[in-house]
Structures are given as structure tokens and as C-alpha cells.
């Protein structure tokens, strides 16, 4: 188990790698990749059971990135873990790349499911958790990371209802609640509150956590897994664009690539060094 | 023996459940209508009731398939293929091994009216690159097709009828040959290429047409995708005229599949015959009469196609 300091360092690397590949591609979604860096670091370097080089290992934990547009942070985690080469990160969004603009399960089996048509990922994760229950040979958990904007989709609540009904104790979902979506603040577009009450009433064990506090995230993941009778929902309060002052808390950086100069300033901020 | 293809599917599924431990059924509160109830009663642990939430059902079926199960996701054709966005991303793009089953296909369902009729399902399901599309023409074929799909690996769509269909195949000798059209009747003047609930009527029409001097071949296309191009080309060469007949909208179904398959084949004229406009309530017989999908309607349509001058002369 890595230390909190190590996980914090990994989170910084995930941010930097995400921004570098988005800048190189000259397109992509930095805001939500930055807001979920600690969540992805906690999963891929804290709790997930997987084997580098063997993405179809039957007993691996499953991770469905429902907010598929933030896949740069997932590619970054796989590179950090040694499952992807650094050079391949530079092919993001390029023709014939395995690193499609949104996760592609067929091209890159490390992606558990294709996502990006928002609202479907939790349903897929519910299906995987149901499969685990029927699988007599393998024992694993299924994790799903959702965006906040996609919670406006009715299918998420169909999935939430079914997760509660089936008491999927081996399913953990996390909402990257960064409060900003493409067109502006979530609360102005279609408010989600009272969000914890909604999931609790759908039969989920629900926790709220600071989504940039790795210690708190790991504790919440452990608490959720301890409840075997119901699925776990972790509402992670985060900041869109976290770690880069000019990208924070704004819809402007939801889906825009940084210029070379902006990238340099961003990396300097993340590493805590002075921009040249 | 007349049997609805959904009924034969339900029997086959329950039997497949015995031999295929990975087969599961996901349902959206229609098991008594889609006939997955038999499976549910025999294998309650492998029957997953999702409620009236077909989008979640489709995506969860994809998750089950990605987890190694072989899910059959069944609902009315219109409701399940209406969740096309879930089908294209969760099932199709993932190449998930999900069998999507749409029952109550076509205007043949009768009294329930348009909202319950699958009339566009073939159009959307055919459009996905890796989706195979199967529509049996009687209960015997539906049983065998279900067995086939339980072993087939990849996304598939099975289209079934609410209404009972007369047998067009011989139960003792029939084998389901995926991707192959079945020549039920030979003929040199025109080939009636039909699929699903209208195949029996097409045969009846051809028998009546023979008495009037039209020698019509009848072919049953149970696999709409991939379609039997070689057989269609052979029919094009031997008859020069193909009439497609289906209980589906005229856009995007069997007729379109045949037009696409023969688009570069010379010296063949193709007419597509199916449901035009939205459906409505009525008895099965009334609706098949209105849309000219019963034996009489198919015969009339064939005559107009083969003898255009006479059709004009007789009005």
C-alpha cells in the first residue's frame, strides 16, 4: 500500500500527463480530468486489484469510467501503472490510436466498457456486479466513476434503483461532484440537490467526502466496501480544473485544450515551481 | 401446428437454460408477454427483473455480457430497440455478447395499436456494423434460431411475432442454417422474398397466383443480416423480378436489405412491400388486409408488379 504522500505525487503526475496529452491532441476535456485525479489515483494505486499486461484477468476488479470524456486521466493512470507506454499517450485522439477520445473497450481492453454517451456507465457496472454474483469462480468488486452532469440523465436513476433493489454490496460508485458542466454550473442547469438523500433513498450506503483528500477517499472506499448488503455511493466534492488556477471552477475549461504556453504555466503550478 | 414465434422462443430458451449455465434473461416487466416466464420459473437465479426501465436493462445486459454471461434481453421490439443509444454504445460498440429479443413485431399485433408495434426496429438494428439480425418465419424456425443464438458469440437481434403463425417448415427435418435463405417454392416469373409473419401468406399467395398464370418463387429470409446475397443474385438472374414482403415499415427493413444487396446487380427490378405510414388498432386480419400483407394482398401486389399493364387496365 502506497503512502498518502506517494498517492499525492501520483495525483500530480496524473494531472500533468492528462494536460500534456490533451495539449498534444489539441482537443479533450481537462476540467473533469483534473477534478478526478485523486479519485483515480486512490482507485488505481490504492484499492483496485488488477494485473498490468493481463487486462482480461477474470478475477480483476472492474472500473467503469462513466464520465468517458475524462478518459485522459485514466490513460494517465494506466501509463503510471506501466500498462501503457508514455509514447502511446501522445497518440490520444489520433486516427487508429487505441487511445480514442472516449473509452473504447474493443481497441483497448483495459477500458472495461465504452462510455461517453453519458448516463450508461452505472447500468453497465450494475450488470457487471450482477455477473460477479452469478460467477462461481471469481470474486471481485465493480467500481464506477460518474460525472455530476450525467446524473441529470434518467438512466442513472434507473441504474440506482436496480443497484438498490439487488443489494449489490460489491458495487461502489463515485460521483466526481465538481459542480460544473459544459454549459455552466450544475445548480443552474439542473440542480441535483439534495443529492446524498436521493441515493440513500434508493437504497445505497451514501457518503460525502472531500474528493481531493486521499486519506478521506480511501477511508470512504473502505467504509463502502464494508457494507455487504447494499451498494456504496461516494459523493466526492471536487473542484473542476483542480490544481491549475486559471482552469478551476469554470466551464471554460470543460472541453478545451491548453496552448503550449498555458500547458507550461499549468504544469508549473501543479509541480509548485515557477513558470519560466 | 400454428404457433407464435415468441412462444417457440420461450420454450427453446427454457431448454437452452438447462444446457447453457451462462445464459441469463433480463426482463422489463413483460416476461409473460415475451414468454421468458418459462425460463424465469426454471432458473430464478438467472432471471433478472429490471422493471420498466429498458435503457438500464440494455446497458446492464452489456455489463453482464462483459462479465462473461450470455444475456437475452427481451421486450417488445419497439420498446427495446427504442433504446437505440444504449444498444449502439453499451452493446454494439463494446461488441458485447447480448441477444436482444424484440417480440410483438409489426402491425400483426393488432388491437394494441401503433405504440406497441415494432415497425422501425429492423432499420435501426441493421445499421450497427456487428449486429446480426434474425427473424424466424414459424415456430419451428424460432426454436432452432434461439438455440443457435445461445451459442453464437456477438451482438444479435431476434425479431418475433405476437400472433401465431402456421408452420412453413417440416419439424422433423428442419435445421437452422444461419445466413442462408430458404427456397420454399420455385418459380420463374417473380421471386417473392419474405421474412417473419408474412412468409406463410406469401406461400399461399404464390399457390393462388399459379392458378392465374404467374409462376412465383417464394423465399424465406430468416437471417436478414448477414443476408444471403448469393441466393438473391440467383433469384435476380432466374426471375428478373423480386418482390420483398415484410411486416415492417418499408424503410430500412428486409426490402432495403435486398436493395442494398442487389444494388450493383443488373437486369433485376425490385419492388418493396411493407407497412406504409403509422400503424393503428384493428384485428390482425383487418390490418393485414389494409396493408395488403395477407395472401390476397400479396397476390394483388405481385400481379401489379408482374402485369403492370393489366393493373392499369383493371384500375
How many CA atoms are closer than 13 Å to the CA of B178, on its beta-carbon side? 17
Residue B202 near residue B194 (C-beta atoms within 8 A): yes
| Of A9, A2, A4, nearest in space to A243 by CA | A9
Q: Which residue of A has its CA nearest to B44?
A: A134
Give the Cα separation of B268 and B264 in Å (integer): 10
Confidence of residue A66 (pLDDT cuts 50, 70, 90): very high
Give the Cα separation of B135 and B253 in Å (integer): 11
Q: Which residues pair with A184 in a beta bridge?
A: A181
The residue from B135, B165, B195 where one domain ends is B165
Cell output for B297 = 394482398
CATH number of A4-271: 3.40.50.970
B312 given a catalytic annotation: no
Domain identity same for B157 and B285? no
Least CB-CB distance to A127: which of B45, B64, B88? B64
What is the model's pLDDT at position B300? 98
Give the Cα separation of A233 and A200 in Å (integer): 9
Residue A122 near residue A144 (C-beta atoms within 8 A): yes
Cis bond upstream, residue A197 (ω within 30): no
What is the model's pLDDT at position B309? 86
From chain B, pick out residues whose CB is under 8 angstroms from the CB of A127: 59-67, 71
Say if B171 falls within a structural domain. Answer: no
Domain identity same for B141 and B233? no
The residue from B165, B195, B222 where one domain ends is B165
Cell output for A122 = 452505472
Q: B128-161: b or e for each residue (b if 16 or more CB lie within 10 Å)?
A: beebbbbbbbbbbbbbbbbbbbbebebbbbbbbb
Q: What is the CATH number of the domain that holds B253?
A: 3.40.50.920
Residue A231 near residue A202 (C-beta atoms within 8 A): no
pLDDT in tens, B104-145: 999 999 999 999 999 999 999 999 999 999 999 999 999 999
What is the model's pLDDT at position B179? 98
What is the model's pLDDT at position A273? 72
pLDDT in tens, A174-216: 999 999 999 999 999 999 999 999 999 999 999 999 999 999 9
Domain identity same for B208 and B283? yes
> Angle of helix A154-165 relative to helix B54-66, nearest 10 degrees?
60
Domain identity same for B20 and B154? yes
* Mean pLDDT for the stretch of residues A72-81: 98
The residue from B98, B133, B165 where one domain ends is B165
Domain extent listing, chain A:
4-271
Look-up of cell digits 490544481: A243
Give the Cα separation of B12 and B149 in Å (integer): 11
From chain B, pick out residues whose CB is under 8 angstroms from the CB of A62: 67
Say if B176 falls within a structural domain. Answer: no
Sheet of strand A62-65, all strands in order from the earlier edge strand to the far edge: A62-65, A142-147, A171-177, A232-237, A205-210
Residue B95 near residue B129 (C-beta atoms within 8 A): no
From chain A, pick out residues whose CB is under 8 angstroms from the CB of B45: 134
Least CB-CB distance to B67: which of A115, A120, A135? A135
Domain identity same for B195 and B157? no
Number of domains in chain B: 2
- pLDDT at residue A238 greater than cutoff 90: yes
Least CB-CB distance to A128: which of B50, B63, B86? B63
Residue B131 near residue B92 (C-beta atoms within 8 A): yes
Q: Which residue of A has its CA nearest to B49?
A: A162
The Cβ of residue B5 has, within 10 Å, a number of other Cβ atoms equal to: 31
Q: Look up the ipTM and state it.
A: 0.95
Cβ–Cβ contact B231 with A under 8 A: no
Residues in chain A: 276
Domain identity same for B82 and B209? no
Cell output for B244 = 420483398
Give the Cα separation of B115 and B130 in Å (integer): 28
What would you measure as the largest C-alpha separation in chain A, in angstroms?
A: 58
What is the model's pLDDT at position B311? 64
| Of A139, A147, A202, A207, nearest in space to A172 by CA | A207
Domain identity same for B41 and B103? yes
How many CA atoms are closer than 13 Å to the CA of A259, on its beta-carbon side? 3
Give the Cα separation of B314 and B296 in Å (integer): 16
Domain identity same for B152 and B86? yes
Say if B293 falls within a structural domain. Answer: yes
Say if B173 falls within a structural domain. Answer: no
Give ∠ CA B262-B267-B269 in degrees, rounded to 5.
65
Q: What is the DSSP letter of B90?
A: I
> Angle of helix B199-212 relative to helix B295-306, nearest 10 degrees?
50
Per-residue pLDDT of chain B (315 residues; tens, 9 = 90+): 899 999 999 999 999 999 999 999 999 999 999 999 999 999 999 999 999 999 999 999 999 999 999 999 999 999 999 999 999 999 999 999 999 999 999 999 999 999 999 999 999 999 999 999 999 999 999 999 999 999 999 999 999 999 999 999 999 999 999 999 999 999 999 999 999 999 999 999 999 999 999 999 999 999 999 999 999 999 999 999 999 999 999 999 999 999 999 999 999 999 999 999 999 999 999 999 999 999 999 999 999 999 998 866 554
Residue B209 near residue B299 (C-beta atoms within 8 A): yes
Q: Strands, DSSP E only, in A5-118?
A: 62-65
Domain identity same for B126 and B251? no
From chain B, pick out residues whose CB is under 8 angstroms from the CB of A159: 56, 59-60
Residue B142 structural domain = 3-165
What is the model's pLDDT at position A196? 98
Q: Strands, DSSP E only, in chain A?
A: 62-65, 142-147, 171-177, 180-181, 184-185, 205-210, 232-237
Residue A174 near residue A236 (C-beta atoms within 8 A): yes
Determine which one of B54, B120, B141, B246 is catalytic. Answer: B54
Q: Which A residues in the span 71-110 are in contact with B, Cβ-Cβ below 8 Å? A: 104-106
CB-CB under 8 Å, B51 with A128 = no
Domain identity same for B45 and B109? yes
Domain identity same for B194 and B156? no
CB-CB under 8 Å, A120 with B94 = no
Cβ–Cβ contact B114 with A under 8 A: no
Domain identity same for B116 and B258? no
- φ, ψ of residue A204 to 5 degrees: the values are -100, 145
Interface test with A, best of B26, B47, B60, B84 (most A CBs within 10 A): B60
- φ, ψ of residue B244 to 5 degrees: the values are -95, 140
Cα B202 to chain center, whole Å?
Answer: 15
Integer CA distances (angstroms), A214 to A11, A41, A141, A242, B234, in order:
9, 8, 20, 14, 68
Amino acid at each position: 500500500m502506497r503512502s498518502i504522500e506517494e498517492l499525492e505525487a501520483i495525483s500530480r503526475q496524473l494531472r500533468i500527463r492528462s494536460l500534456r496529452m490533451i495539449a498534444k491532441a489539441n482537443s479533450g476535456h481537462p476540467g473533469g480530468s483534473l477534478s478526478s485525479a485523486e479519485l483515480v489515483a486512490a482507485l488505481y494505486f490504492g484499492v483496485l486489484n488488477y494485473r498490468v499486461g493481463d487486462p482480461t484477468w477474470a478475477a480483476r476488479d472492474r472500473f467503469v469510467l462513466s464520465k468517458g470524456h475524462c478518459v485522459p486521466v485514466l490513460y494517465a493512470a494506466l501509463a503510471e501503472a506501466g500498462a501503457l507506454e508514455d509514447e502511446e499517450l501522445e497518440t490520444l485522439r489520433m486516427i487508429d490510436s487505441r487511445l480514442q477520445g472516449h473509452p473504447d473497450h474493443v481497441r483497448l481492453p483495459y477500458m472495461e466498457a465504452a462510455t461517453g454517451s453519458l448516463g450508461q456507465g452505472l447500468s453497465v457496472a450494475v450488470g457487471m456486479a450482477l455477473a460477479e454474483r452469478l460467477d462461481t469462480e471469481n470474486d471481485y468488486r465493480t467500481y464506477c466513476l460518474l460525472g455530476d452532469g450525467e446524473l441529470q440523465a434518467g438512466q442513472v436513476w434507473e441504474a440506482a434503483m436496480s443497484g438498490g433493489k439487488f443489494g449489490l454490496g460489491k458495487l461502489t460508485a463515485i460521483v466526481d461532484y465538481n459542480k460544473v458542466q459544459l454549459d455552466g454550473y450544475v445548480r443552474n442547469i439542473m440542480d441535483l440537490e439534495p443529492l446524498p438523500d436521493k441515493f440513500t433513498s434508493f437504497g445505497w450506503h451514501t457518503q460525502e467526502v472531500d474528493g481531493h483528500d486521499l486519506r478521506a477517499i480511501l477511508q470512504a472506499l473502505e467504509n463502502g466496501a464494508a457494507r455487504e448488503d447494499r451498494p456504496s455511493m461516494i459523493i466526492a466534492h471536487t473542484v473542476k480544473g483542480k490544481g491549475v488556477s486559471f482552469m478551476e471552477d469554470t466551464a471554460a475549461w470543460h472541453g478545451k485544450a491548453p496552448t503550449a504556453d498555458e500547458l507550461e504555466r499549468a504544469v508549473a503550478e501543479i509541480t509548485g515551481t515557477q513558470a519560466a | 401446428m400454428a404457433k407464435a414465434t415468441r412462444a417457440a422462443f420461450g420454450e427453446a430458451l427454457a431448454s437452452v437454460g438447462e444446457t447453457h449455465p451462462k445464459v441469463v434473461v433480463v426482463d422489463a416487466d413483460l416476461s409473460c408477454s415475451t414468454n421468458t416466464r418459462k425460463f424465469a420459473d426454471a432458473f430464478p437465479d438467472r432471471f433478472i427483473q429490471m422493471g420498466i426501465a429498458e435503457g438500464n436493462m440494455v446497458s446492464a445486459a452489456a455489463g453482464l455480457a462483459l462479465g462473461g454471461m450470455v444475456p437475452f434481453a427481451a421486450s417488445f421490439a419497439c420498446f427495446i430497440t427504442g433504446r437505440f443509444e444504449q444498444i449502439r454504445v453499451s452493446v454494439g460498440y463494446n461488441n458485447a455478447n447480448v441477444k436482444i429479443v424484440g417480440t410483438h413485431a409489426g402491425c400483426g399485433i393488432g388491437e394494441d395499436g401503433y405504440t406497441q408495434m415494432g415497425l422501425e426496429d429492423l432499420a435501426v438494428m441493421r445499421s450497427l456494423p456487428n449486429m446480426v439480425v434474425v427473424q424466424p418465419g414459424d415456430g419451428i424456425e424460432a426454436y432452432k434460431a434461439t438455440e443457435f443464438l445461445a451459442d453464437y458469440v456477438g451482438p444479435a437481434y431476434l425479431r418475433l411475432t405476437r400472433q401465431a403463425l402456421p408452420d412453413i417448415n417440416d419439424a422433423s427435418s428442419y435445421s437452422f442454417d444461419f445466413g442462408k435463405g430458404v427456397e420454399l417454392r420455385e418459380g420463374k416469373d417473380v421471386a417473392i422474398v419474405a421474412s417473419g409473419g408474412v412468409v406463410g401468406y406469401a406461400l399461399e399467395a404464390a399457390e393462388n397466383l399459379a392458378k392465374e398464370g404467374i409462376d412465383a418463387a417464394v423465399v424465406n429470409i430468416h437471417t436478414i443480416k448477414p443476408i444471403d446475397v448469393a441466393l438473391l443474385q440467383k433469384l435476380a438472374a432466374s426471375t428478373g423480378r423480386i418482390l420483398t414482403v415484410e411486416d415492417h415499415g418499408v424503410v430500412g427493413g428486409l426490402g432495403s436489405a435486398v436493395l442494398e444487396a442487389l444494388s450493383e446487380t443488373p437486369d433485376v427490378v425490385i419492388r418493396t412491400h411493407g407497412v406504409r405510414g403509422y400503424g393503428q388498432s384493428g384485428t390482425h386480419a383487418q390490418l393485414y388486409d389494409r396493408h395488403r400483407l395477407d395472401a390476397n394482398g400479396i397476390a394483388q401486389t405481385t400481379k401489379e408488379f408482374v402485369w403492370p399493364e393489366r393493373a392499369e387496365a383493371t384500375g
